[in-house]
Amino acid sequence: MRIRPIPFPEFRDEVLRLYAPPHRAAATRRQVAQVLREIAALEVQTTADLTSTLVARFVEARPPGQSPRTLHTVLRVFRAIANQAVIQGYLRVSPFALRRVSQWVGRVGPPAPKKWFPAGDVRRVLGLMQEDCRTTAGWARWRAWRLYAATSVVALAGLRATECLTLHIADVHLDRHIIDVTARRRLKTACSCAPVPVCLALETVLREYLPVREEHPLDFPVPAEAPWLFPNLNRRGPWLHGSPGTKPLDRLQEVSARAGVPGMTFQSLRASWATRAEGAGYSALTIQRVLRHSTQNTQLWYRAADAERLADTVRDFNY
């Protein structure tokens, strides 16, 4: 096959078109764009310059202290870019065909555990949110209930933040104790689109929240059809954005800081669910089904050792 190198800027634009949403997730495109910028910074002129020597320079240019795991991830993106050049006939052979990604990287240890919070910390944050619901009025009460209910869905059902915040009321079946996670937004994996069980504590929260969700001043226009379980203020979309301090994560971190549990995120609550479930004796398969992971290996990123619960479990151990 005749090889016809093309200018690197032209190739970069071609690659980015392939990664444009909805073909790929926006975060994936940002990652590819960043790697392409770093390659271009090495004064690459054409696709013929994508050689093993360039990969070596790319590795040498990494920031000091960058972990081998991060370098491994970045090089896999570089490999995908080089493979695309080969497939299109812009490059004779990929540099990673001569030396695998693993041979460019030092030892990659196990993934660092996700941040999680013990049950007492989660209870303290949810308790303060519940107190805010009781002691506020008007829009402040409505916002407090929306935050409390959304945080409870993540903490008690293990949903991802976007999955939770883009739910429709029709997705929640309290009589069946099920939440249907659907592909309303781009889901992380095919396994993400699956029903999730609702525990009794979450059922209680949602039954109390649903009437509050309908509240609004008489002179405030709301659309006749407002399907979102956690809508924005005008009910025309989901609560995903907002001005600084009003986004879902901002609200969660403000309350968690007041509760003495700084740094809480929706992701850490999902990891807390996994750790709590394992400590409660749930099987690995049950945890996988609820979190909707493709494989049980993914759970290594979420489950941590709850040392306090383990200590209680073995407290009476003796010979």
DSSP per residue over 13-44, as a string? HHHHHHT-TTTS-HHHHHHHHHHHHHHHTTT-
Residues 6+ apart with CB under 8 A from 242: 232, 248, 250
Kindly tell me if the per-residue pLDDT of 66 is higher than 70: yes
Mean pLDDT of the chain: 87
The one-letter amino acid code at 231 reads: P
Q: Is 117 exposed, middle or buried (0-12, 13-18, 19+ CB in 10 A)?
A: buried
Enter the pTM of the model: 0.70
Domain assignment present for residue 66? The answer is yes
156 in the same domain as 303? yes
302 in the same domain as 179? yes
Residue 173 DSSP class: E
- How many angstroms separate the CA atoms of 14 and 47, rounded? 12
Domain boundary residue among 71, 104, 137? Answer: 104
Bridge-based pairing state of the strands 178-180 and 195-197: antiparallel
- How many angstroms separate the CA atoms of 265 and 292, rounded? 19
Domain assignment present for residue 110? The answer is no
Nearest to 39 by CA among 70, 14, 61: 61
20 in the same domain as 162? no
User: Residue 8's pLDDT is what?
Assistant: 94
- How many angstroms separate the CA atoms of 7 and 119, rounded? 56
Q: How far out from the chain centre does Cα 37 lie?
A: 25
Domain assignment present for residue 314? The answer is no
Torsion of CA 137, 140, 146, 148, to 10 degrees: -80
278 in the same domain as 220? yes
User: Residue 293's pLDDT is what?
Assistant: 81
Domain assignment present for residue 318? The answer is no
156 in the same domain as 97? no
User: Residue 312's pLDDT is what?
Assistant: 64
CATH number of the domain within which 34 lies: 1.10.150
227 in the same domain as 88? no
Identify which has the larger pLDDT, 319 or 171: 171
Kindly tell me if the per-residue pLDDT of 104 is higher than 80: yes
In this structure, are residues 149 and 289 in contact, taking their beta carbons and an 8 Å threshold? Answer: no
In this structure, are residues 289 and 298 in contact, taking their beta carbons and an 8 Å threshold? Answer: no
Supply φ then ψ for residue 235, to 5 degrees: 65, 15
In this structure, are residues 211 and 202 in contact, taking their beta carbons and an 8 Å threshold? Answer: no
User: Residue 167's pLDDT is what?
Assistant: 94
Q: Among 83-97, 99-113, 268-282, whose mean pLDDT is lowest?
A: 99-113
State how many domains the chain has.
2
Confidence of residue 282 (pLDDT cuts 50, 70, 90): confident
Kindly tell me if the per-residue pLDDT of 301 is higher than 60: no
User: Residue 229's pLDDT is what?
Assistant: 95
90 in the same domain as 132? no
Domain assignment present for residue 257? The answer is yes
> What average pLDDT does the segment 32-58 reach?
94
User: Residue 130's pLDDT is what?
Assistant: 97
**Which DSSP helix (H) or strand (E) runs through 172?**
strand 172-173
Domain assignment present for residue 51? The answer is yes
Q: Among 38-42, 97-101, 133-137, 153-157, whose mean pLDDT is lowest?
A: 97-101
- How many angstroms separate the CA atoms of 57 and 178, rounded? 52
What are the tens digits of pLDDT across the range 133-169? 999 999 999 999 999 999 999 999 999 999 999 999 9
50 in the same domain as 177? no
Domain assignment present for residue 41? The answer is yes
Kindly tell me if the per-residue pLDDT of 228 is higher than 90: yes
272 in the same domain as 124? yes
User: Residue 196's pLDDT is what?
Assistant: 92
Domain boundary residue among 104, 130, 147? Answer: 104
Q: How many Å is the maximal CA-CA distance in the chain?
A: 76
Residues of the chain with pLDDT > 70: what percent? Answer: 87
> What average pLDDT does the segment 200-207 reach?
96
User: Residue 308's pLDDT is what?
Assistant: 61
> What average pLDDT does the segment 61-81 reach?
89
User: Residue 318's pLDDT is what?
Assistant: 62
Range of the domain at 254: 119-307
- How many angstroms separate the CA atoms of 315 and 144, rounded? 40
> What average pLDDT does the segment 80-84 reach?
94
